[in-house]
Amino acid sequence: MTMAPATTTAEIDVLTAAASDAAPIWRAADAGERAGWLRAIADALDTHIDELVTIADRETRLGETRLRGEVGRTSGQLRLFATVVEEGSYLELTVDDADAVSGRPELRRQLTGVGPVAVFSASNFPFAFSVAGGDTASALAAGNPVIVKAHSGHPDLSRRTAEVVTEALRAAGAPEGSFALIEGREAGNALVQHPAIQAAGFTGSVTGGRALFDLANGRPDPIAFYGELGSINPVVITPTAAAARGAALATGLVGSFTLGVGQFCTKPGVVFIPRDAGFEASVAEAVTDATGGQLLTDRITDAFPAGIDALLGSSSVELLGRGAPTETGAQPVVLATDAAAVTADPEVLLAEVFGPVTLLVRYDGDDDLHAALRAVPGSLTATLHSEEGDEVAATLALLESRAGRVLFAGWPTGVAVTWSQHHGGPWPATTSLHTSVGATAIRRFLRPIVYQDAPAHLLPAALRNEAIAALPHRRNGVLRVP
């Protein structure tokens, strides 16, 4: 791992000026050209996969299998957004023709890129949520140059990935200033406050994200800050589900909360279980064979045992089981408490602990469960394991109010990159209601603009009659799909 000097303010000024020059070119590029630039990056990542995975494994210790899969997801995201650009509905093209009777003018509306975007890389996904990850892909797809702040946990990978992206864009004919990389915490702070930056995307801790969110909102010209921060991803298991398939659910839970050494943002961190259903014993048995491993960074490594100790500091919490011993790294841990304790002390018992740990919460009936669920903070996901005939409407309503994705089978780790996916939720899961995964992630980096009585030759190409007829659009209130 090679540490480089932090990017200076003068260097940021140069990069943002270049991005500002490139922004109108990206906005004006037709769908085929912009999609081609995205596919060029995807192809380049796939071409360099061997080199990139070697660097990533050295810096993150995530293993070749996981990292190769993540490169595939990253290039797949870029190709998905290429199809989003070509399909065209993301533009939300809308026309209201002039009406002489009412005096209404002609109005034509579309979404357009906001301008240069700052992207802050995550530590736990060194490809998919990093330099060329989903935030970068969606911002470029929206027609915006991107400046990425590298994560300190994988600096060599960040630099090499940035070189691959820059070379691919240049070879594909994209303008200079389309993409850049900066390093250093102070440089990141300066970037989000720079007047050329028009929006920012972030994946990381609540503390770091909140600090950047405040900087973005404290500017003389505040900008949108789309942060994915903390999430404990509650799970509810009904008595009938525990009775019908408790052993299988216990095995699935252990596999999920230990996946990636518990460093997924969708890890099931708190699981509400019926008291005296035998589920605790099943989890305690299943976790004994679970393996841990080294965590991503020294900071995460130091925080994991401190987080466990903070939970065990509550008199209501007991250690239920541990995974297989490990000479180095984090050992999986299962803790248990009661719903009444969670209701009384949610700030301590519902604190997110990054790493392979989950907290089982025993409940006695729906009233006990629902009181505790009301104390659960916003999350990316919520999971309900029930059986046909269970009366779960009230429970489901509480879970829906606290998460952006609700699961009824399986476990939340693993996020499909699709048109319908939503990866967001109420605070502190995200700072907005938008998603950072899936096709609609592009909406974060777009703004609406309306043209009133504009001469046809001055309209953006997509809003002209000859082009709009071939794209999804709404005209005089009627949705039209070619």
φ and ψ at 122, to 5 degrees? -100, 160
pTM: 0.95
CA dihedral 354, 129, 441, 352 (to 10 degrees): 10
Look-up: residue for tokens 């061997």? 50
3, burial (CB in 10 Å: exposed 0-12, middle 13-18, buried 19+): exposed
- Give the whole-angstrom CA distance, residue 34 versus residue 174: 8
What one-character-per-residue DSSP string does 78-123 give? HHHHHHHHHH-GGG-EEEE--BTTTTBPPEEEEEEE-S-EEEE--S
pLDDT at residue 5 in the model = 81
- Give the whole-angstrom CA distance, residue 297 versus residue 188: 19
pLDDT at residue 173 in the model = 98
- Give the whole-angstrom CA distance, residue 339 versus residue 126: 36
| Residue 252 near residue 235 (C-beta atoms within 8 A) | no
Flag whether pLDDT at 1 surpasses 60. Answer: no
pLDDT band for 87, please (50, 70, 90 cuts).
very high
pLDDT, average across residues 3-12: 89
Share of residues in the chain with pLDDT > 90 (%): 95
Report in angstroms the alpha-carbon separations of 423 from 37, 208, 381, 398, 405: 25, 19, 8, 18, 7
| Residue 336 near residue 253 (C-beta atoms within 8 A) | no
What are the tens digits of pLDDT across the range 31-67? 999 999 999 999 999 999 999 999 999 999 899 999 9
pLDDT band for 2, please (50, 70, 90 cuts).
low
Domain spanning 9-229+432-480 has what CATH number?
A: 3.40.605.10
**How do the domains of the chain map onto residue ranges?**
9-229+432-480, 234-407
% helix, strand, coil for the chain, step of 5: 45, 20, 35
pLDDT at residue 61 in the model = 87
Closest CA to 24 of 111, 86, 114: 114
| DSSP three-state, residue 248 | helix
What are the tens digits of pLDDT across the range 288-314? 999 999 998 888 999 999 999 999 999
- Give the whole-angstrom CA distance, residue 323 versus residue 332: 5
Tokens of 437: 């995964």
pLDDT at residue 298 in the model = 87
pLDDT at residue 3 in the model = 64
Q: Which of 265, 280, 285, 327 is catalytic?
A: 265
What are the tens digits of pLDDT across the range 207-253? 999 999 999 999 999 999 999 999 999 999 999 999 999 999 999 99
What is the average pLDDT value for the chain, to the nearest integer?
Answer: 96
- Cis? peptide before 428, omega within 30° of 0: yes
pLDDT, average across residues 85-111: 97
- Give the whole-angstrom CA distance, residue 312 versus residue 315: 7
pLDDT at residue 473 in the model = 97
Share of residues in the chain with pLDDT > 70 (%): 99
Taking phi first (over 0 means left), then psi (-120 to 50 degrees means alpha), and beta for anything else, what does residue 211 get?
A: alpha
Q: Which of 228, 388, 391, 466 is catalytic?
A: 228
pLDDT at residue 297 in the model = 87
Residue 11 bears catalytic tag? no
What are the tens digits of pLDDT across the range 57-81? 999 989 999 999 999 999 999 999 9
| Equal fold, 9-229+432-480 vs 234-407 | no
Maximum distance among all alpha carbons in the chain? 81
Looking only at the bridges linking them, the beta strands covering 478-480 and 473-475 are antiparallel
φ and ψ at 360, to 5 degrees? -85, 135
| Residue 377 near residue 350 (C-beta atoms within 8 A) | yes
Flag whether pLDDT at 4 surpasses 60. Answer: yes
Q: Which residues lie closer than 8 Å to 13 by C-beta, 6 or more apart?
A: 194
What are the tens digits of pLDDT across the range 15-34? 999 999 999 999 999 999 99
Ordered alpha helix ranges (H), 142-196: 155-172, 185-193
Flag whether pLDDT at 257 surpasses 90. Answer: yes
Residue 87 bears catalytic tag? no
H or E, element range at 322: strand 318-322
| Residue 420 near residue 252 (C-beta atoms within 8 A) | no
Tokens of 321: 């089981």
Closest CA to 253 of 280, 276, 219, 293: 280
- The CATH fold assigned to 234-407 is Aldehyde Dehydrogenase; Chain A, domain 2 (3.40.309)
CA atoms within 13 A on the CB side of 189: 10
Helices 206-217, 185-193: inter-axial angle, 10-degree rounding:
30
- Give the whole-angstrom CA distance, residue 280 versus residue 246: 9
Tell me the residue length of the chain. Answer: 482
What are the tens digits of pLDDT across the range 361-403? 999 999 999 999 999 999 999 999 999 999 999 999 999 999 9
